[in-house]
């Protein structure tokens, strides 16, 4: 550094050219940042005097990240020392958080200074959009994972984090890496599993707990979850990831509730659909038999569900499943042999009244050649205003309408 308050830095205008020219610039590093923005490559060794300005800038952040990916451990330690005083600011910044993540992941061991800063600012980072990513990046070191998981449990705010829009990602990662019984996760599930199951973000935590093998000490209440907006995902996870004993317990409750009534419900039909796709052979056969059963009017339930706004998805999966050929024949026979004459075309299909489009959008095959029954004719609704229907029959309406 010269006595006039200036210092030297390198500017490389080529690609991979190490023979850089030496220039002088004021100590204020904004000039270096301006040079880098002008597509000049600045040697990262000379950004230390104004590290924060570089780290919070889009281009300066990329410069530091590129250097972090190629530097040795000693240089990395020097950069970390410059970053620690500003770690909280960097962690919650849209550009700076990537620098902190790279410093953590590129270190052989978790830097003690960074770990201490994360521990002291744990909750503000957990509830921040960018800070939660830094916390998750630190889990690549087992030391940081244990310290943060313990600190989060001791803070008494573990339950709050499970239902937070950003904090739930951290709790999910802890579950995946530590198992279901560490740091009070199992106790939290036992105390609040139904409350969490009905929450938009809490249900994700419950799903991760099921995936890692957590078993409820009591039987799940399928009735209270199967037709809930978020709770039905829990039932699906139980049927996919639980042991055979747990699956049979859940399926027994589904049988008591009735397969056909569940197929007609918005969210419960998703559970039956996934059960047909991923369930045991005994469960799939039972569902197919339920669809083949006859209603009081002699029409199979499967044929009626094929016309239902939710049940038709279950029938499609049943047709594709093993043994579904029977359902396919039964549905075809009922629909094309006069059964479709009472079918009301949904609004979304009224723009396709033609016969070919009607069949295509219904996802039903063409009628058997022996029957040769055309699709029912559909008369599109009139686009005239409906007030003329009442002009001659309701004098009060005529008086109101005519002013």
* pLDDT digit string, tens, across residues 244-299: 888 999 999 999 999 999 999 999 999 999 898 888 888 988 998 888 888 888 88
pLDDT band at 398 (very low <50, low <70, confident <90, very high): very low
- 354, pLDDT greater than 60: no
Q: What pLDDT score was predicted for residue 95?
A: 94
pLDDT band at 106 (very low <50, low <70, confident <90, very high): very high
Q: What pLDDT score was predicted for residue 6?
A: 33
Lowest mean pLDDT among 110-124, 284-298, 331-345: 331-345
Whole-angstrom Cα distance, residue 104 to residue 98?
10
- 344, pLDDT greater than 80: no
Task: Report the pLDDT averaged over residues 83-92.
Answer: 93
Q: Which residue has the higher pLDDT, 216 or 232?
A: 232
Q: Is 104 helix (H, G, I), strand (E, B) or coil?
A: helix
pLDDT band at 70 (very low <50, low <70, confident <90, very high): confident
Alpha-helical (H) ranges within 45-130 are 51-55, 58-68, 73-83, 87-91, 96-105, 112-120, 122-126
Q: Is 72 helix (H, G, I), strand (E, B) or coil?
A: coil
Q: Report which DSSP code applies to 326.
A: H
Q: What pLDDT score was predicted for residue 279?
A: 83
pTM of the model: 0.71
Lowest mean pLDDT among 22-26, 112-116, 252-256: 22-26
The β-bridge relationship of strands 41-42 and 21-26 is unpaired
**Of 171, 169, 80, 176, residue with least CA distance to 129:** 169
pLDDT band at 136 (very low <50, low <70, confident <90, very high): very high
Lowest mean pLDDT among 83-97, 150-164, 341-355: 341-355
Whole-angstrom Cα distance, residue 164 to residue 202?
8
Whole-angstrom Cα distance, residue 371 to residue 86?
78
Tokens of 61: 């952040």
Q: What pLDDT score was predicted for residue 302?
A: 86
Mean pLDDT of the chain: 76
- 134, pLDDT greater than 90: yes
First-to-last CA distance in the chain?
91
Q: What pLDDT score was predicted for residue 254?
A: 94
Interval 153-195: pLDDT, tens:
999 899 999 999 999 999 999 999 988 766 578 888 888 889 9
Q: What pLDDT score was predicted for residue 172?
A: 94
- 231, pLDDT greater than 70: yes
- 237, pLDDT greater than 90: yes
Whole-angstrom Cα distance, residue 290 to residue 313?
15
Q: What pLDDT score was predicted for residue 323?
A: 58
């Amino acid at each position: 550094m010269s006595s006039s308050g200036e210092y030297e830095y390198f500017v490389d205008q080529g690609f991979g050219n190490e023979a850089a020219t030496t220039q002088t610039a004021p100590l204020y590093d904004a000039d270096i940042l301006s040079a880098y923005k002008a597509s000049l490559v600045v040697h990262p060794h000379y950004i230390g005097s104004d590290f924060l300005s570089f780290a919070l800038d889009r281009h300066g952040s990329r410069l530091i990240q590129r250097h972090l990916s190629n530097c040795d451990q000693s240089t990395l330690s020097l950069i970390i020392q410059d970053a620690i005083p500003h770690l909280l600011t960097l962690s919650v910044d849209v550009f700076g958080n990537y620098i902190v993540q790279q410093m953590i992941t590129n270190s052989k061991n978790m830097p003690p200074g960074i770990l201490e800063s994360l521990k002291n600012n744990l909750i503000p980072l957990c509830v921040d959009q960018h800070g939660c990513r830094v916390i998750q990046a630190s889990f690549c070191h087992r030391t940081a994972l244990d310290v943060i998981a313990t600190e989060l449990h001791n803070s008494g705010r573990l339950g709050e984090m499970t239902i937070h829009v950003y904090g739930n990602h951290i709790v999910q990662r802890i579950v995946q890496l530590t198992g279901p019984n560490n740091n009070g996760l199992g106790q939290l599930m036992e105390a609040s599993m139904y409350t969490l199951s009905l929450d938009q973000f809490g249900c994700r935590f419950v799903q991760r707990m099921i995936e890692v093998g957590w078993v409820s000490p009591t039987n799940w209440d399928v009735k209270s979850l199967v037709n809930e907006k978020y709770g039905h995902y829990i039932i699906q996870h139980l049927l996919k990831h639980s042991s055979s004993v747990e699956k049979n317990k859940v399926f027994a409750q589904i049988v008591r509730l009735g397969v056909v009534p569940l197929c007609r419900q918005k969210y419960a039909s998703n559970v039956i659909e996934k059960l047909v796709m991923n369930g045991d052979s005994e469960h799939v056969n039972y569902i197919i038999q339920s669809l083949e059963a006859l209603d009081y009017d002699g029409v199979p339930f499967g044929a009626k569900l094929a016309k239902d706004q939710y049940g038709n998805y279950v029938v499609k999966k049943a047709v594709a499943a093993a043994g579904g050929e029977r359902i396919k024949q039964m549905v075809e026979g009922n629909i094309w042999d006069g059964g479709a004459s009472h079918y009301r075309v949904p609004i979304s299909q009224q723009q396709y009244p033609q016969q070919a489009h009607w069949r295509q959008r219904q996802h039903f095959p063409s009628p058997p050649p022996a029957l040769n029954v055309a699709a029912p004719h559909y008369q599109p609704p009139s686009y005239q205003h409906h007030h003329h229907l009442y002009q001659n029959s309701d004098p009060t309406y005529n008086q109101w309408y005519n002013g």
